[in-house]
A and B are shown apart, each in its own frame.
Chain A
Amino acid sequence: MSILEGLRLAVNGLLSNRLRSALTMLGILIGVSAVILLVGVGNGATVAVQQQIQSLGSNLLTVFPSNARSAGGVQQGFGTGSSFTLDDVKAIANQQTSPDVVTAIPSAGGRAQLTYGNQNWNSSLTGTTQDFPSVRNYQLASGQFFSSGEVDAASKVAVIGPTVATNLFGSADPIGQVMKINRQNFRVIGVFAPKGSSGGFNNQDDVVVVPITSAWSYLLGGRGKNIQQIYVEATSAQATTAATAEVTQVMLDRHHISDPTQADFQILSQQDVLASASQTTGVLTLMLGAIAGISLVVGGIGIMNIMLVTVTERTREIGIRKAIGARRQDILLQFLIESMFLSGLGGALGILVGFGLARLLPIAVSALPTPVISTPSVFLAFGISVGIGLFFGLYPANRAARLRPIEALRYE
């Protein structure tokens, strides 16, 4: 018997029990579409996280103070290690000693209460220098960023993120307006363009940026000339490794530390963050896929169940076919093709439904990342569904093939 004959028989058999075939197929359809959709959501989360990290600047290094160096054998708590100075920042930015660094900026800040008229807003305050927009990948929507002169003079000027502008000024133009930051008057001279990525981590649009000198003088009272971290812009994403080495050397020299394991600072590149975030979302994708995979197995058991019923129902037909010359393999093939056709068609429809749901999901639930469906996952899902038909069809088909013709013929 040829495969084509088998396929004709299978279609014929499935059509004779339309509702039952459709319901059985539904099991596989749901399983496959769940796999496609959930793996798509996992991939979408990965892409979203990667984009968010990239938007911080893929060539960005962050230098943190570290407690690794123990003074007099006493291990100190996080953040209590020696802080950085503006001279550290200047040394890192020095082109002679660190050719792979474009520039470096200090950062100090915390939460700040902003007031304008009767409006209040709590935002994230950063004190820094004039190179902040280029290092942190910010564009200005209107106005301008503060200059090195304004940093030197500790001018009371501020640049705000679009979230702050909306919440504090509404539709009015914030440029030139004077608002209060922690009860100190600051003039708004610029508004950042939205970075787009919101939710998840820190909202990068909900920020207020002032000269670090002004922050020290008026806003971060009592804490002295503290720099919490230094942002370093490498010449390119590829140069981050070389830049990390250069910055490490400069800092070790300046802090008179000979053993790199005793360094009182830590350097984190966006590449590191990206790698660990990708790993996390990868696990998420795998887990979602596994959960969906369970429903696929349940669908497979449904196929096996129905195939067993079908074999019992058609015992007499099997007897007739055997009497007129069907061999074991002919009967085996007939029922295997039937179960594989059932699961394969269910799988194909499941792929279509999965695609459809992936389109609809972001519209229905805006908080979820847009699912990203990869071509290999589609082929894999289809292959697995056909494989499930083969696996779960094997037992019923084998049972049919082993029936003895006289007993099968006598079956009522």
Chain B
Amino acid sequence: MITLEGITKVYRTGEVEVAALKGISLHIPEGEFVAIMGPSGSGKSTLMNLIGCLDQPSSGRYILDGYDVSALTDDQLAWIRNRKIGFVFQSYNLIPRASAVHNVEMPLIYAGDNLQRRERAMAALESVGLLERAGHLPSELSGGQQQRVAVARALVTDPAILLADEPTGNLDSESSLEIMKLLRDLNQQGRTIVLITHEPDIAAFAQRVVRVRDGVVVSDERPSIAAEMVR
């Protein structure tokens, strides 16, 4: 599903070149729930931008669902983001002036996919349990509800992967638990999920944890399987 081969990313600020990623290779098969962990400055945000096709690597190859993303134009990247990736951000990133259901159907608008658009948006809202809040503005919803709207928006185009960047970072522990259970349920239905976090108890929901530090992968393990093997 996702294959990264020798990915590097170098930022240039004036005279100084900063290497955020120094050669990352990673394979994430379909249906996996992966957590990418690392302290701030480790390069995990850069990695998330690359996986999310918001940015392009300085060198290396990135294959997403059969598409070589490393050499695409801006508009082609927009198409990939629209069809292949569902984003869930830390700060929800809903459009404040649009109702919940309008936020959810927005990816379909940009896909030019008008077939039963409203019905599909409502179905996505139903799958996150927010059908009765469809007409509300984001400002009328709690943080947890806003994040569930964001998950519904990420799901509506039936993307290849769901990319969650610190999805619980702005939420209380109860809402955090709800969102993580939602993600786990989605994974059990077969959805590939990539989770970026720095909290171990959030990462614990994943089957596989990849640790990043100073732009390289320092560990890649499957704790739950390891735990089972110990038992």
Contact = CB atoms under 8 A, between A and B. Distances in A.
A322 B54 CA distance: 9
Contacts of A319: 93
Instruction: Give the size category of A's interface with B.
Output: 20 to 34
Interface stretch (B63-71, B77-85, B167-175, B216-224): B77-85
A328 B110 contact: no
Contacts of B55: 406
Interface in A149-166: none
A323 B93 contact: yes
A40 interface: no
A406 B49 contact: yes
B74 A324 contact: no
B110 A321 contact: yes
Contact of A13 (B87, B97, B114): B97
Nearest to B82: A325
Interface in A328-373: 328-330
B78 A327 contact: yes
Interface residues of B, number: 28
B79 A325 contact: yes
Interface of A: 1-2, 5, 12-13, 16, 316-317, 319-330, 405-406, 409
Contact of A320 (B78, B79, B95, B114): B95
B24 interface: no
Interface in B95-117: 95-98, 106-107, 109-112, 114
B228 interface: no
Nearest to B55: A406
19 contacts: A1-B109, A2-B112, A5-B109, A13-B97, A316-B93, A319-B93, A320-B94, A321-B95, A321-B106, A321-B110, A323-B93, A324-B110, A325-B81, A325-B82, A325-B83, A327-B75, A327-B79, A405-B54, A406-B54
B52 interface: yes
Given A1-B112, A320-B95, A325 B54 contact: no
Contact of B54 (A12, A13, A323): A323
Q: Which of B49, B82, B110 has the most CB of A within 10 A?
A: B110
B153 interface: yes
A409 B93 contact: yes
Contacts of A5: 109
Given A324-B82, A325-B83, A12 B97 contact: yes
A72 to B, nearest CB: 89
B74 A328 contact: yes
A333 to B, nearest CB: 11
Interface string B125-144: 00000000000000000000
A327 B78 CA distance: 6
Contacts of A327: 74-75, 78-79, 110
B75 A317 contact: no
A114 to B, nearest CB: 78
B111 to A, nearest CB: 6
B93 A320 contact: yes
A325 B93 contact: no
B54 A326 contact: no
Given A323-B54, A406-B49, A16 B93 contact: no
Nearest to A319: B93
A316 B81 CA distance: 17
Nearest to B111: A325
B107 A325 contact: yes
Contacts of B74: 327-328
B157 to A, nearest CB: 8
A330 B81 contact: no
A314 to B, nearest CB: 9
A320 B150 CA distance: 11
Nearest to B154: A324
A323 B75 CA distance: 11
